[in-house]
Amino acid sequence: MMMDISEEITVNRPHFVQQNVSLSPFNTFKFSYQAQYLAMVDTIDSLKMVVNWAHQQHLPITVIGGGSNLLIRNNIVGLVIVNRLMGKKCVVEEGGVVLLQVAAGENWHEFVRYAVHKGLFGVENLALIPGTVGAAPVQNIGAYGVEAKDVIERVQVLDLLHDKLQWILAKDCGFGYRDSHFKGKWKGRYLITTVEFKLTRISTLVLSYGGLANQIKGEVTLSAVFEAVCDVRRHKLPDPSVIANAGSFFKNPIICAEQHRRLKQIFPALVSFPVGDDYKLAAGWLIDQAGWKGVRHQGVGVYDKQALVLVNYSEQNAVALLALESLIKQSVFERYGVYLEREPVELPTVLSAKEELS
Ligand code: EPU
């Protein structure tokens, strides 16, 4: 049953739960949809308290981290939890391998900077990715030849169905290219509280991705790679605190060898990378070559330095952006016969974890 977003529930409501809150500060597209209730939580106790309250009131729960990979397209009924759990601790150090537990609300880039500062290899290629540590496993963030799954050992979650904390091993998280069970079959079930990373003091630099090595001036060290990645990203990608965006808006599509061969005949400059027997196409190239780069359309647009990124210049809601998305998808499909899939996670999720899973 849909609930009127203005309806007020005061029974046992924890004092830090606010009503009818604009979500504009909590999504980097800056869309100003409302949350019926919103709670920022920074301890496990306050988290459990608000989850219990939402369950008592039969309110659906939605979790937001840094809001940098979200497409909010409507008001969110129920309780929105903004995850601000903080803290880092080293749990094991043995033979150059370090297991580090980082709370989900920590800023991702600050964590990367911390690891580099401590001389720990593994996440340096993932520098300057916006968002929180807890969001990293959800879409298995990746850049410059490294993905979060390469360094995640296990993920601690609050199971919203059984109200208990548990650890899930990385191998069981269904990690794929910008994908995991957290945004798939487990969507709405688990709230990520801590991520355990396996980093190393032994050099494991990955420099194979498109010209990263050439960006490094001087000696190739951990911090030189970190700085080079920061430079490339600052140059190519819009800073969400300046221009509203959610990073890559589309995934790079994967096509079979036969379709790749035919496309390459028509478009010899096609940018692609072999993945097993298939090929991954650079969606940015497809969109760029179809003439979309830098296009502005009703207050939203395609970023002029990276066509894979859609930006919001002024719109309060997602309508114009969704229209632009459709136009781009249609144009790319007509030109190349390739279907583009959206990358950011869409909210709201309509059903509560309890309704959906019981
Ligand atoms: N390209 C163009 N025109 C464009 C954009 C790209 O021709 O407007 C070409 C580039 O010249 C290059 C190729 O496409 O040859 C690939 O571009 P780039 O190296 O910028 O990477 P990408 O495939 O567009 C992916 C990730 C980014 C990540 C970079 C670097 C996805 C969906 N995106 O982008 O991740 O930073 O690789 O590893 O996989 C994100 O997920 O939000 C994100 C920014």
The tens-digit pLDDT sequence of the chain (358 residues) is: 445 666 677 778 999 999 999 999 999 999 999 999 999 999 999 999 999 999 999 999 999 999 999 999 999 999 999 999 999 999 999 999 999 999 999 999 999 999 999 999 999 999 999 999 999 999 999 999 999 999 999 999 999 989 999 999 999 999 999 999 999 999 989 999 999 999 999 999 999 887 899 999 899 999 999 999 999 999 999 999 999 999 999 999 999 999 999 999 999 999 999 999 999 999 999 999 999 999 998 999 999 999 999 999 999 999 999 999 999 999 999 999 999 999 999 999 754 444 444 3
Residue 6: the pLDDT is 64
Which residue has the CA at smallest separation from atom 2 of ligand 1? Answer: 285
Going through the chain in order, the beta strands assigned E by DSSP cover 17-22, 34-41, 61-64, 70-72, 76-83, 88-94, 97-103, 142-143, 146-147, 152-159, 164-169, 190-200, 244-248, 254-255, 272-275, 278-281, 296-297, 300-302, 309-312, 345-347
Q: What is the pLDDT, as a whole number, of residue 11?
A: 76
Judge contact between 88 and 134, C-beta under 8 A.
Answer: no
* Spacing, Cα 281 to ligand 1 middle (Å): 10
| Probe residue for ligand 1, chosen from 208, 233, 292, 308 as the CB with the greatest number of ligand atoms within 8 Å | 308
Q: How far is the CA of 282 from the centre of ligand 1 (A)?
A: 6
106 contacts: CB under 8 Å, gap ≥ 6: 85, 86, 87, 88, 132, 133
pLDDT at 24: 97
Q: Which atom of ligand 1 is nearest to the CA of 247?
A: 42
Is this structure's pTM higher than 0.75? Answer: yes
Residues 6 or more apart in contact with residue 330 via CB below 8 angstroms: none
Residue holding tokens 């890559």?
Answer: 248
Ramachandran bin of 355, using left for φ above 0, alpha for ψ from -120 to 50, beta for the remaining angles: alpha
Domains and CATH numbers, the chain: 17-84+346-357 (3.30.43.10), 88-233 (3.30.465.10), 250-342 (3.90.78.10)
Distance 40 CA to ligand 1 centre (A): 33
Q: Compute the distance from residue 128 Cα to the ligand 1 centre, in Å.
A: 15
Top mutation candidate among 177, 285, 289, 345 for ligand 1, by most atoms within 8 Å of CB: 285
pLDDT computed for residue 357 by the predictor: 42
Ligand 1 centroid–CA 14 distance in Å is 44
Take residue 220 and report the two structure tokens written for it.
Answer: 């190739």
Q: Give residue ranges with CB within 6 A of ligand 1.
A: 143-144, 209-210, 236-237, 247-248, 251-252, 271, 282, 284-285, 288, 293, 306-308, 343
Q: In ligand 1, which atom is closest to the CA atom of 125?
A: 38
pLDDT of res. 5: 66
Catalytic amino acids? Answer: 178, 248, 343
